[in-house]
């Protein structure tokens, strides 16, 4: 059984790398099998169906994103403005860029209720919210959660603008948003 699980993990690694590189538009079973270097049928031997495969890809991507964020920061509590600036900086750097591009695609699919995107997006967004909240230097738990949600919404807006502008507009927006924080 361990051998099957090892092979499944190897195929999942390849599929995740492919989706991070190509995005969600090329997630047919045939495309994913080709990226994993196996046949469609062999891929379905390791994953019960395409939904299981996509869910696994998205969950693995979310875990990788969390690991990158965790490695890039410490647990020091910071002001809302510092957390916002740090998060914007991280999301614009190369290690996170493919994850942010994928995240905006997941979010777009989730807003129309498409599964497994909506289910996975909810898990991801609450994980990101906790990451921001845990780093805010605010004593009141209710305030910390509200400000974390505000920062997350602001970062998401900048990420969307980064996706389809040359960066100047999103930089202006980020600067204006930072000015609104304490």
Do the Cβ atoms of 115 and 107 come closer than 8 Å? no
Higher pLDDT, 165 or 46: 46
Asked if pLDDT for residue 22 goes beyond 70, the answer is: yes
User: Which tens digits make up the pLDDT trace of 107-156?
Assistant: 999 999 998 999 999 989 999 999 999 999 999 988 999 999 999 999 99
pLDDT of 30 strictly over 90: yes
CATH code of residue 110: 1.10.357.10
> What pLDDT does residue 1 have?
58
Tell me the pLDDT tens digit for each residue of 59-111.
Answer: 999 999 989 988 888 889 999 999 999 999 998 888 898 999 999 999 999 99
Q: Which residue has the tokens 């080709």?
A: 34
The Cα 9–Cα 77 span in angstroms is: 35
Domain span holding position 21: 2-179
Q: Which of 124, 156, 125, 157 is closest to 57 using CA atoms? A: 124
d(CA 97, CA 82): 20
Count CB atoms within 10 A of the CB of residue 40: 15
Domain count, the chain: 1
Contacts of 102 (CB under 8 A, 6+ apart): 19, 20, 23, 24, 61
């Amino acid at each position: 059984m361990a051998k099957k699980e090892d092979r499944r993990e190897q195929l999942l690694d390849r599929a995740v790398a492919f989706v991070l590189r190509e995005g969600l538009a090329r997630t047919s079973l045939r495309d994913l099998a080709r990226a994993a270097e196996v046949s469609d049928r062999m891929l379905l031997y390791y994953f019960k169906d395409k939904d299981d495969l996509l869910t696994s890809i998205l969950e693995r991507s979310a875990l990788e994103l969390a690991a990158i964020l965790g490695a890039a920061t410490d647990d020091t509590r910071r002001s809302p403005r510092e957390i916002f600036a740090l998060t914007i900086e991280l999301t614009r750097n190369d290690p996170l860029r493919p994850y942010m591009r994928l995240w905006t695609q997941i979010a777009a699919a989730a807003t129309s209720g498409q599964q497994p995107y909506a289910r996975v997006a909810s898990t991801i967004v609450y994980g990101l919210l906790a990451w921001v909240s845990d780093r805010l230097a605010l004593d009141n738990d209710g305030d910390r959660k509200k400000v974390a949600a505000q920062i997350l919404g602001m970062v998401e807006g900048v990420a969307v603008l980064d996706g389809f502008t040359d960066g100047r507009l999103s930089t202006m927006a980020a600067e204006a948003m930072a000015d609104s924080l304490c």
